[in-house]
Amino acid sequence: MIDITNLHKRFGPLHVLKGINLTVDKGEVLSVIGSSGSGKSTLLYCINGLESIQDGSIRVDDTEVHHPKTDLNRLRQKLGMVFQQWNSFPHLTALENVALAPRIVKGQSKSEASERASEQLNHVGLGDKLDSYPHALSGGQQQRLAIARALAMEPSLMLFDEATSALDPELVGEVLDTMRMLAREGMTMICVTHEMGFARDVSDRVAYFHQGIMEEIGPPEQLFNTPQSEHTRAFLSKVR
Ligand code: ADP
Ligand code: MG
Domain boundaries in the chain? Answer: 89-154
Distance of CA 230 from the midpoint of ligand 1 (Å): 23
Distance of CA 193 from the midpoint of ligand 2 (Å): 9
Spell out which residues have Cβ within 5 A of ligand 2, the ion: 41
Region 189-205 average pLDDT: 97
**Of 9, 14, 31, 160, best ligand 1 pocket probe by most atoms within 8 Å of the beta carbon:** 14
Alpha helices for the chain (secondary structure H): 40-47, 72-77, 94-104, 110-123, 139-151, 169-184, 196-202, 220-225, 230-239
Q: Residues with beta carbon inside 6 Å of ligand 1? A: 11, 14, 16, 34, 36-42
Distance of CA 36 from the midpoint of ligand 1 (Å): 9
Q: Is 125 helix (H, G, I), strand (E, B) or coil?
A: coil
Report the distance separating Cα 41 and Cα 83, nearest Å.
10
Distance of CA 20 from the midpoint of ligand 2 (Å): 16
Please report the ipTM that was assigned to this predicted complex. 0.98
Ligand 1 atom 1, closest CA: 37
What is the pTM for the complete model shown? 0.96
Pairing of strands 157-161, 79-82: parallel
Alpha-carbon 139 to chain mean position: 17
Q: What is the pLDDT of residues 70-114, one digit of tens each?
A: 999 999 999 999 999 867 999 999 999 999 999 999 999 999 999
